[in-house]
Amino acid sequence: MTLNQYQMQDPTMQYPKITNDGSLQSEPGLDATLNPKADLGETTYQGAERLKGRKALITGGDSGIGAATAIAFAREGADVAIGYLPEEEADAKKIIAEIEAAGQKALALPGDIKDEAFCQKLVADTVKEFGSIDILVNNAGKQEFEADLQQLTTEHFTDTFVTNVFAIFWITKAAVPHMPAGASIINTTSIQSYQPSPGLLDYASTKGAITSFTKSLAKMLVEKGIRVNAVAPGPIWTPLQPSHGQPPEKLKEFGQQVPLGRPGQPAELAPSYVFLASQESSYITAEVIGVTGGNHLL
């Protein structure tokens, strides 16, 4: 997929609607096998040194929104560490190569953020390699569709909360002592925090928690000069969706219900993370930026 995302154009036509036969991937999903492919900004994102000299840690940085953000951060001048599951190594290698191609240091950190000890190691290894963490992006998440409340197991519900909420707490708590004044924390919440869908009860609940966590943490850390914000994506075409994040019938017309009439691409999310990470957003904290295709957050 090649296009000029900087050229003025009709946003409803900027990317095609997703044509998918409803085929599912096993969890966790991979960009390497995603069909159709997502735009991570590999051939489009142009940096302007907004993050020159910064050190960033991104969870879920191997694919989807996290991968697009990693590419953008590197092209803006940041060294980037990415956390990901070992099963996602194929995707991670590609993003590590993109970071290095931008002339920046890259650090691959495989492991499972459901493990508190790994979350602490994720931070420790980043600090050991980079010296500090100037930008923390808590992006990794679990989404698994289940329409029947009686089939939503305690294990499923717990796994979603540990991955999406507890891990953010563990990673952030470990990272803050290594974050200087001027640092930025960016959490990935969701339109599901504001307009929850049936079938995503556990996921939507965690995203509501992340939104509140973001706003409360921002007030807690403001005296340290650390800003905390979030991005709330709408329907974005990533491996999260076909790896049981949506049922097959919803994949066939994924994202077409929003006002813009199509799903978003990861490359359309990355600039929001860059903005919140940069000094250009110095007067913004405790805020959520919606990238939803026109669906409202409130």
45 counts as catalytic: no
Interior/surface letters 4-41, b for 16+ CB within 10 angstroms, e for the rest: ebeeeeeeeebbeebebeeebbebbbbbeebeeebbbb
Q: Which two tokens stand for residue 77?
A: 């001048």
* Residue type at position 93: K
Q: How many helices (H) and strands (E) does the chain have?
A: 8, 7
Q: Which two tokens stand for residue 178?
A: 């290594």
The catalytic residue among 84, 194, 203, 273 is 203
User: Look-up: residue for tokens 């717990």?
Assistant: 158
Q: Give the Cα separation of 91 and 140 in Å (integer).
A: 14
Query: Which are the catalytic amino acids?
Result: 203
